[in-house]
Amino acid sequence: MKIMSFNTLFCTNYFTKQIDFQAMADAIKKCNPDIVGLNEMYGKSHMEEYDSQTEKLSALTGLPYFKFAEACVLEEGTFGNAVLSKTPFINAKVIPVPEEEVKTGNQLYEPRCLLKLKYDNGLTVLIIHFGLNKDEHINAVNTVLENLEEEKCVLMGDFNVLPDDDVLEPIKKRMTDTALFFKEPLLSFPSDKPFKKIDYIFVSPDIKVLSADIPPIAVSDHLPDTVEIEI
């Protein structure tokens, strides 16, 4: 089974600055995934180019099962995470990440959510997009920990933190960072000249990792993250 994590920049081509569903779909198809976790996607919108982005990518990629997870409403429309899948999931739950009562960071705050999916083979998939501020990171990690399964569990997304950040330690104690299986150190952002890794796929200890990669497919501002697994 192949898993892919991809921040799409709301389906905007990083180089042309235009909404480009075909380019995003082509990037996904090159990776040939069974399950794709998507960050920075729009759901319903009054603007055609932002409307039903997950459904449009599903049609273009041939991945028939999809779910959009609303985190917040922005000017363009509903905004959040999504999944595309070759096989049906039996349950999908959207879990808000708690917002901070007192905001201590100096970067933009936006509501975030966790998308939790269950498959009939026992696999659980968690898709999340961390905020930009340290207090948001802590709340996101706590939300993840509350929803992790001890077996057959995959966690992925744009975490907006570097691999050596202490905030990831509670997750690393319970899951394996698949970047350990890269053939060489790889970076994910920005896609044209990456200088840092902020995108992740973690798996529970019982899942066998066959290979992992950040393929150099530059279309969004993030490169995709992929892993092949056996469960």
How distant, in Å, are the alpha carbons of 65, 82, 130, 131, 195 from that of 142? 28, 20, 11, 13, 27
Res. 33: pLDDT tops 90 = yes
CB 28 within 8 A of CB 222: no
Q: Could you report the per-residue pLDDT of 121-164, keeping only the tens digit for each? A: 999 999 999 999 999 999 999 999 999 999 999 999 999 999 99
pLDDT band, very low/low/confident/very high, at 20 (cuts 50, 70, 90)? very high
Above 90 in pLDDT, residue 102?
Answer: no
pTM above 0.95, yes or no: yes
Q: Is the pLDDT of residue 39 over 90?
A: yes
Residue 180: predicted pLDDT:
98
Indicate whether 101 pLDDT > 90: no
14 has a pLDDT exceeding 90: yes
45-81 tens-digit pLDDT: 999 999 999 999 999 999 999 999 999 999 999 999 9
